[in-house]
Amino acid sequence: MTIRFQASANLQHPGRGGGEASHLSHAPAELLIRKLESIGALSPAERAALRRLEMTPVSVDAHHDIVCEGASPTAVTLLLHGFLCRYKLVADGKRQIMSFHIPGDIPDLPTLFLDVTDFNVCSLTSSQLAVIPHSALLALFAEQRQLAYLFWRNTLIDAAVFREWIVGIGRRSAFVRIAHLFCEMIVRMQAVGLSSNYSVELPLTQTDIADALGLSTVHVNRTLQEIRAAGLIKFFRGRLIAIDWPGLRKAGEFEQVYLHVQKAAASVPPAR
């Protein structure tokens, strides 16, 4: 595992591509605050407490495991920049991805109350993280009880996304599943200010998509061509653009409720 600890909190990001990346040129705490405000309200005292939260910046290369199944970590990781995913391997070596993570997410938050981790977290791209000790989080919650509830809510939304994925993998066709995933990522990115005009950075390979949706890469490739041919999206070089957002939503049978996004500014306007 190649984790490079950084001497200082020098976390300026290159800001490749869309203008939305500039939003992230803030301190780690600000990103966490923005994330939490996308799912609930924060009082000034809570914001202040969050700014005092102990965080250690870390960089990781692409395709490296950050958390491993069976481990018992004593800290959680806030994703600052890049993309992560949770996954498990099954008996015959097949991989199932169970979530994608974008800046503001804390994929291993469950380890705060689950002694043994039951999934792996790995980086899809080179990423910047902030490590927050469990003890620091618990101290924060002791001081600001409502914040504990907001983090709890965060994990509940996580679970709501799992439910929606179960529905997709269990009962929807490949075409609908892929369209749905794209809708989900666009709305989530938008909620933390990482999207402009239904265009998001999304550096997923077709293999990643296949492993997330329970499909083969070959089938993902062909279905992706169909979705493109239908004029719904452009998807290349790690960038997803919804050319026809209402059409994509419809194709993906996408109902945003389950994401429980609060922020008015963050929610996607209704189709048409």
Q: CB of 34: closest distance to DNA in angstroms?
A: 28
Name which of 34, 36, 28 is nearest 152 in CA terms: 36
Name which of 194, 195, 217, 197 is nearest 206 in CA terms: 217
Q: CB of 18: closest distance to its own copies in angstroms?
A: 30
Distance CA 119, CA 158 (A): 14
Listed ranges 19-27, 77-85, 142-150, 224-232: which one lies at the site for its own copies (CB under 8 A): 142-150
Residue 244 phi, psi dihedral angles, 5° rounding:
-125, 85
- Residue 48 binding DNA, by CB under 7 A: no
- Residue 62 binding its own copies, by CB under 8 A: no
Site for DNA in 136-195 (CB under 7 A): 173-175
Q: What is the dihedral of CA 133, 136, 142, 144, to 10 degrees?
A: -110
Listed ranges 100-108, 161-169, 189-197, 234-242: which one lies at the site for its own copies (CB under 8 A): 161-169
Name which of 68, 88, 126 is nearest 212 in CA terms: 88
Residue type for position 245: W
Q: Work out the angle between the directed axes of helices 145-171 and 206-213 (0-180°, nearest 10).
A: 90
Listed ranges 56-64, 77-85, 190-198, 257-265: which one lies at the site for its own copies (CB under 8 A): 257-265
Q: Work out the angle between the directed axes of helices 174-191 and 217-229 (0-180°, nearest 10).
A: 80
Q: CB of 37: closest distance to its own copies in angstroms?
A: 16
- Residue 258 binding DNA, by CB under 7 A: no
218 binds, among its own copies, DNA, none (CB under 5 to 8 A by kind): DNA
Q: Please pick, from the candidates 207, 256, 262, 267, the single residue that binds DNA as defined by CB under 7 A.
A: 207
Q: Please pick, from the candidates 51, 52, 88, 222, the single residue that binds DNA as defined by CB under 7 A.
A: 222
